[in-house]
Amino acid sequence: MKKSNLLISVLLAFSSLNASEVLSKETLGQVLYFDVNLSKNRTQSCATCHNPNAGFVDDRNNGVNKMVSLGDDGKSLGDREAPTASYAKFSPKFHFDEKKQKYVGGQFWDGRAATLEEQAGGPPLNPIEMGMANKKEIIERIKENSLYVDSFKNIFGKDIFEDENKAYDAMTIAIASFERTDEFSPFDSKYDRYLKGEYDLTPLEDLGKSIFFSNNNNSCANCHVLKGEDKAGETFTNYEYHNIGTPENKELRAKNGVKTIDEGLLANPNVTDINQKGKHKVPTLRNVAVTAPYMHNGVFKDLKTVVEFYDKYNNKDRTINLETGKSWDEPEVKDTISIKELRANALNDRKVEALVAFMKLLTDKKYEYLLDK
């Protein structure tokens, strides 16, 4: 795998610094993002599971065909796919929208981190991810690096290391500030260029766009449109939580040993409403074509399969999962499926292909070469 341009820029930044110099907040966050020393065995960084070369997801095989991430210990497997960190900064703080009567925003599939800063602070302390024992241990690792020490003191105050909780929060603030840079959200896909008059859609892409944004024909726009058709800055998610009837990933569960139902939003400690069971955050469709596998548990390998899965709710002929050659598996959680939002007209095969073609348009320019892989 080629080195990330971001990682190269980090190395260049280090090599050009004098001993007396310090880093800006964003650059400090960038260096921390790539630092494997923040994991127990010094093998894993934020970039391991959110690779800038791969749409900010985990593109390692991990013995499970990229379905979930492998921990720093070399054996622990998660039960949910690492969400992309691209465009994550646009997710609002986790809250209950009184008008919609829905939970909205936050980070992770269940919104348990209210903000980008909280998300950045999660993996280092997760025993099956980066595996550090506590905040103090992490701060001690940071203090091993004199450039870190000087930069933390310059940005957050000379007494920042006197309180390990404040120092840890400072680390998450720095990482989140890097994740808010345009590197994570360039808005330069073919779709964005089309909006600027710099790209002409093919007939298939144009058909896919029309279907995607049509509430009368398809259900995509119910959850994957925030601003509206042809609006600049669209992130292709409304940040709500829904149960779309995703089946259990039996292949994954056979390897990670998990036997409990994924309760989705109900697993969030701030949510107690049983009606939220099985609901997961609506992900952005930005870079979706290059960040397989799909769904919160990586159960589907191909984007076309995902479209056909949605279509099965409205198409009596869409009975077979072409990846398995068998009937679609039952939902892991049946009682809370968003049937209203899933209701749409049936799709023929050309319309399925058109929707896939449209979603490929949402790939950032730097990842377009991955579409051919």
Calculate the alpha carbon distances from 177 to 35, 117, 170, 246 in Å: 16, 8, 10, 33
What pTM was computed for the model? Answer: 0.93
CA 294 to chain centre: 11
Q: What are the phi and psi torsion angles at 87 (to 5°)?
A: 65, 15
**pLDDT per residue of the chain (373 residues) written in tens, 0 to 9:** 344 555 555 554 554 455 458 899 999 999 999 999 999 999 999 999 999 999 999 999 999 999 999 999 999 999 999 999 999 999 999 999 999 999 999 999 999 999 999 999 999 999 999 999 999 999 999 999 999 999 999 999 999 999 999 999 999 999 999 999 999 999 999 999 999 999 999 999 999 999 999 977 778 999 999 999 999 999 999 999 999 999 999 999 999 999 999 999 999 999 999 999 999 999 999 999 999 999 999 999 999 999 999 999 999 999 999 999 999 999 999 999 999 999 999 999 999 999 999 999 999 999 999 999 8
What are the C-alpha distances in Å from 45 to residues 36, 50, 127, 143?
4, 9, 14, 17
